[in-house]
A and B are shown apart, each in its own frame.
Chain A
Amino acid sequence: MGDIVQIYNDYKDHADFLTVYVREAHPTDEWQMKSNVKDDVCYAQPKTLEQRVAIAQDFTKHYKFPLPFGIDDMGNAADGAYAAWPERLYVIDETGHVAYRGGMGPFNYKPAEVRDWLAAKYGAVKHEAPAAAAASSTANPTTPAAASASAPDKATAPTQASSTK
């Protein structure tokens, strides 16, 4: 999650961002992960839109998540249209066409590929990580995307102070 926040902070002057909350990946009544129990991120699969809103609010509050946010409806229209569950990344270009389609998470959820796409268009940008984003990056090992995708980034992309190409 920290990776996406960092990309947002780096490229929000060039691109728009929208996070879409889709149905839970590892709710307590389906395929719950031990790591979620350990970190007390335990939710049943929402049965109503109000429940989805409540979880989404918990999420954004917990991680001080700065990206614009939308919640998929109970018919899972956005999930269906974008094959989004459990997590996936896209870039839509200015003409309304898919410019980048990420793989299905967690194993093929790769924020670094979004960064590469943006860097190819706008040049490499890497601001100093804000304290909240840095904290959320390390405090969110439960999210499969964060666990699988953030570690390689941290290893290969040391933070540089505001270097814009």
Chain B
Amino acid sequence: MKRLLKWIGGALAVLLLAAFGVLCYMAGSPRDAYGMVRYALPHMHRGTLRVGSDAPDARLLALDGTTRFHIRERLGARPLVLVFGSFT
């Protein structure tokens, strides 16, 4: 029994190492693999919006740092392309 547990433990360790190796290869480095698991994976299936959903509203700040406006204020007679992102 003890021997079997050792084998199972060893096999699991090898599998985990292999999975981490694959992730490092995909991400580019162990640090990026960690970043992917820590920061990206939790966001992978976030959100419930679908094509046809009502576009949600949110209040934004303009680049001048003082003017505020709502996304839905920009909706009108033409389609609105929304581009979400950051500098880094």
Contact = CB atoms under 8 A, between A and B. Distances in A.
A-B complex is real = yes
Interface of A: 4, 7-8, 11, 14-27, 30-34, 36, 41-43, 49-50, 52-53, 55-60, 67-73, 77-79, 81-94, 96-101, 104-105, 114, 118, 121, 142-143, 145
B57 A81 contact: yes
B6 interface: no
B76 A85 contact: no
A25 B86 contact: yes
B88 A100 contact: no
Contact of A98 (B32, B55, B60): B55
Interface in B45-65: 46-63, 65
A87 B80 contact: no
A78 B86 CA distance: 13
B20 interface: no
Given A58-B87, A83-B47, A71 B81 contact: no
A18 B58 CA distance: 13
Given A14-B78, A50-B65, A90-B81, 18 more contacts: A7-B81, A11-B81, A15-B78, A16-B74, A17-B81, A69-B63, A71-B62, A72-B60, A73-B61, A81-B49, A87-B86, A90-B49, A91-B79, A92-B75, A92-B79, A94-B76, A98-B49, A114-B81
B39 interface: yes
A94 B79 contact: yes
B2 interface: no
A78 B58 contact: yes
Contacts of B48: 83
A122 B61 CA distance: 31
Contact of B58 (A81, A88, A105): A81
B62 to A, nearest CB: 6
A50 to B, nearest CB: 7
A22 to B, nearest CB: 5
Contacts of A19: 83-85
Contacts of B35: 30-31
A18 B81 contact: yes
Q: Which of A4, A49, A88 has the most chain B CB atoms closer than 10 A to its own CB?
A: A88
A70 to B, nearest CB: 3
